[in-house]
Amino acid sequence: MSGRAISRTTENNISICQLHSAAIMSLEKKYGIDILYEDNHLVVLNKGVSDIVQGDQTGDESLDQKLREFIRERDAKPGNVFVGIPHRLDRPVSGVMVYTKTGKALSRMTALFREKEIEKIYYAIVETQPSPLAARLEHYITRNTRQNKSYCHTKEVRDSKHAVLEYRYLGVSEHYHLLEILLETGRHHQIRAQLAAIGLPIKGDIKYGAKKPNINGGISLHARRISFIHPVKRKPLEITAPFPRGDIFPYFKTDQGARL
């Protein structure tokens, strides 16, 4: 999908494509990144639960820093490597994270997010079965920066922002329930706060009412899929992120009894 490898065959019947892919995978492992898609304009990663999207007050190495170093080594680029950040994912959240490789792509992707021309699908594991099984949630969210926490209100209040999502019930495991979420707006901790507000805290999300933390330190909220028109190529693009290791996403059964 990314077109990163040359497809031809060596004398000993091992393709250069395979050799190249193995070398790139080794380099990805070195820098702790997982590339889902790449072209001359975009790089889409599968973010881990412990990764931070960009540098913050913790001083921990960020995903954009790792990506810069990866590109610099892989492509033998001297000097600075441009990596743009058109959106965010919370640190304990996993899944699809889009970066850009050019300023033009950054400005266009930022506009797509701002104008809500990107479809973002999340999967969330919750402790309680929702009622109803599908609904549209609308709240007004305020952010407490001191607590790094958001609060939901049923009516507009001072400094609040309108927040909208839709959810539907996907399946059940022994102790938990799985939801698919279509995020319409992108507010601070929006999915976490809105689900908690209706009595559905996300597994592992102590900040918003979960009973206990996850072993991996993250929460069971996964940015599963993103769809948009490529900002430069002008062609439809859909990217799906595999589930994070160590969580129970693969163990849910649908209404028909099938595994996800």
Q: What does the alpha-carbon distance between residue 152 and residue 193 come to, in Å, rounded to a whole number? A: 7
pTM of the model: 0.87
**Spans of the chain below 70 pLDDT:** 1-20, 253-260
**What is the domain-level CATH number for residue 101?**
3.30.2350.10
In this prediction, residue 131 carries a pLDDT of: 96
Phi, psi torsion values for 111, nearest 5 degrees: -65, -40
In this prediction, residue 20 carries a pLDDT of: 52
Beta carbons of 241 and 35 less than 8 angstroms apart: no
Q: Which residues contact 45 (CB under 8 A, 6 or more apart)?
A: 33, 34, 35, 36, 63, 67, 96, 97, 99
Domain count across the chain: 1
DSSP annotation string for 102-158? SHHHHHHHHHHHHTT-SEEEEEEEESS--SSSEEEEEEEEEEETTTTEEEEESS--T
Q: Is residue 256 part of a domain?
A: no
Q: Is residue 135 part of a domain?
A: yes
- Token pair 């000993």 is at which residue? 12
In this prediction, residue 15 carries a pLDDT of: 44
Q: Is residue 141 part of a domain?
A: yes
Q: Is residue 17 part of a domain?
A: no
Q: Return the biggest CA–CA distance within the chain.
A: 70
Q: Is residue 257 part of a domain?
A: no
173 is in which domain, residue-wise? 32-251
Q: Is residue 217 part of a domain?
A: yes
Neighbours of 71 (CB within 10 A): 21
In this prediction, residue 254 carries a pLDDT of: 61
In this prediction, residue 2 carries a pLDDT of: 39
